[in-house]
Structure 1
Amino acid sequence: MDLADLKEQQKIIQHLEREGLKHVVFTNCVKDENVKQIIPMVTELVGSSHRYHRGEHVEYCIMVIGVPNVGKSSLINSLRRQHLRKGKATRVGGEPGITRAVMSRIQVCERPLMFLLDTPGVLAPRIPSVETGLKLALCGTVLDHLVGEETLADYLLYTLNRHQLLGYVQHYGLGEACDDIASVLKRVAVKLRKTQKVKVLTGTGDVNIIQPDYPAAARDFLRAFRSGLLGPVMLDRDLLQGRPAEEP
């Protein structure tokens, strides 16, 4: 939750409960916030299961599952810091596909004795809409180049403007909001001095000109969003307000 806008946290919980999800915990694995709630909750849930009492060994082995790049490895490392005072046991990164196979058991707690299994991220076989796919891509669940960095930047700009989240204006010193992605990326590229030489054919021969590096500007725009530099954002705000998302 270090990057999310949680002003309507109760509505988020209510929406998840309507979807059949219980026992929701908002955590921040960067600052280890609320992570200590997880072990007692898991212990209680597993202990109340009929299947748990079939075994004689009092230890827990639990698989951590989720979509790619959602923070599964970060959660495991945070639990180890909180309960064992130990460092990283599994590699993390800001892109999908860091964990490529089910890892060996990683101890995260001594009492009760608990091991977690880190797993590769898995997406649903079918994405219900283009906009849902764009939201997932903005969160880094697929590699950017598979969708297109400038396409993602365009959707991000649309979302920020629609919800009046104008942190990007201040971050890049744009002066005012703008809904034209080409104009925004041009100004971002100029500010960051991201330019490239392009050869142009003229009537008198080839001429090299300098133009903004739009892909580089788009990558920086996405990086700033994912790093929280544009402020907290909730991409699914429309779901909480009970209305379908508008077409971008």
Structure 2
Amino acid sequence: MSRKVFEITKTFRTKFEATSDEVLRWFPGHMFKSMERIQAVLKDIDCVIEVHDAKIPFSGRNPRFRDFINLRPHILLLNKYDLADINVRRKELIENKLKTQGVDTIFYTDLRTYEKSPILKDHILPTAIELTNSRPRYQRQGNPEYNILVIGVPNVGKSTFINAIRWSHIKTKGRATQVGAVAGITRSLLNKIMVHNNPVTYVFDTPGILTPSIPNVDAGMKLAICRCIPDKIVGPENMSDYLLFWLNSHQRFDYVDFYGLKEPIDNVYDFLAEIAIINNKINKSRNQETSNEHIMVPNFEWAANKFLKDFRNGRLGQYFLDDNELMVKQTEEISKN
């Protein structure tokens, strides 16, 4: 960090103050119902595949899913891996911590480019079948068909995974399940979807289900900026405020060059104003003091949405948002030694 940047940022915020705790309380009724329906169908399931965002491998994972992990073979897909800043050491720490949570089988995926990746065809489904056959299947023992349950929080790629694995194995065109960029688009537990015919394998798609109680604002905002919570719940300007705070507090100033700024900025509205002005997104608004005049106002909402889109699409670089979780793990290891 240069001396100039250090002098500028040493007065920046050291704590994020949320304007609302609405993000902690978002748990729609259909999620409660879906948990009940999943438990009811679990007796017919051979293996559980959980999909989560690789940028936040710990934040937001529903602790109720651990019940399923204990009852059935389980695979965790950390998706959007291409957007995550995960080096060899960080991957080791992630996997060590996940093992303490009962997760032993992990794949890192970028499901948006599944046609180019052999992992779906050559590894994930064969591993699911191998894990199933390595344990008693109880009332399903001897059944030649395999049923796989796909679970996860909203908008991490569950439906994309089902469509991708179906295409990889049976080359069926079209989408078996709807894909969207809005958290919670899948609302019901769907019928069986065949994804393989030798052996015959079906998957059950499920709605995205968050933990009923998000522990703190930091975890909630990370879920929001990763689009696991609908943008309208938190608001793009509030999410942009948290994202800007996170980038500055982690000394990730890539955004300065990306947007052509002179220096890092702490105030979100100063930052959004710069983006709006650079992109000529200025609105004419009536002056409240003199109703006969108009003033030019930066389009903060447009700028906030662009900032979030650039982050989510990887234009601002690769990021790993759960370093605080790994720091806890490292602290525990040091204390043991």
Q: What's the CA shift for 1:101?
A: 1.1
Identity %: 40
Please tell me whether residue 26 in structure 1 is matched to residue 108 in structure 2.
yes
Whichever residue aligns with residue 241 of structure 1, its letter is M
1:221 paired residue number: 307
1:65 paired residue number: 151
Inter-partner Cα distance in structure 1 for 2:111 and 2:231: 24
Whichever residue aligns with residue 103 of structure 2, its letter is L
2:276 match: secondary structure: helix
Q: What's the CA shift for 1:180?
A: 2.0
Over 3 Å counting, the alpha-carbon distance change for 1:3 and 1:193 in structure 2 is same
Contact 1:47 1:53 (8 Å CA) reproduced: no
1:11 paired residue number: 93
More displaced 10-residue stretch of structure 1: 79-88 or 6-15: 79-88
1:111 paired residue number: 198
1:49 paired residue number: 135
Q: Using CA pairs below 8 Å that are at least 6 residues apart, which structure has the higher relative contact order?
A: 2
More displaced 10-residue stretch of structure 1: 187-196 or 60-69: 187-196
Inter-partner Cα distance in structure 2 for 1:35 and 1:162: 37
1:98 paired residue number: 185
Inter-partner Cα distance in structure 1 for 2:196 and 2:250: 41
Whichever residue aligns with residue 293 of structure 2, its letter is V
1:171 paired residue number: 258
Whichever residue aligns with residue 211 of structure 1, its letter is V
Inter-partner Cα distance in structure 2 for 1:118 and 1:183: 43
2:120 paired residue number: 35
Q: What's the CA shift for 1:209?
A: 1.0
Inter-partner Cα distance in structure 1 for 2:107 and 2:329: 25
1:206 match: secondary structure: coil
Inter-partner Cα distance in structure 2 for 1:49 and 1:222: 44
Inter-partner Cα distance in structure 2 for 1:54 and 1:103: 21
2:73 paired residue number: none
Over 3 Å counting, the alpha-carbon distance change for 1:11 and 1:48 in structure 2 is same
Contact 1:68 1:122 (8 Å CA) reproduced: yes
Contact 2:97 2:329 (8 Å CA) reproduced: no
Inter-partner Cα distance in structure 2 for 1:182 and 1:243: 36
1:83 paired residue number: 169
Please, what TM-score do these two structures have when normalized by structure 1? 0.91
Inter-partner Cα distance in structure 1 for 2:234 and 2:312: 16
Please tell me whether residue 202 in structure 1 is matched to residue 282 in structure 2.
no
> Superposition RMSD on alpha carbons, in Å?
1.9
Unaligned runs of 5+ in 1: none
Unaligned runs of 5+ in 2: 1-80, 331-337
Over 3 Å counting, the alpha-carbon distance change for 1:6 and 1:113 in structure 2 is same
2:293 match: secondary structure: strand
Please, what TM-score do these two structures have when normalized by structure 2? 0.68
Q: What's the CA shift for 1:51?
A: 2.3
Q: Which has the higher helix share?
A: 2
Contact 2:186 2:208 (8 Å CA) reproduced: yes
Count of matched residue pairs: 243
- Alpha-carbon deviations, 1:35-92, whole Å to 9, x = none? 3321111101111221256444311111101000011011111212222223332121
Please tell me whether residue 181 in structure 1 is matched to residue 268 in structure 2.
yes
Over 3 Å counting, the alpha-carbon distance change for 1:41 and 1:52 in structure 2 is farther
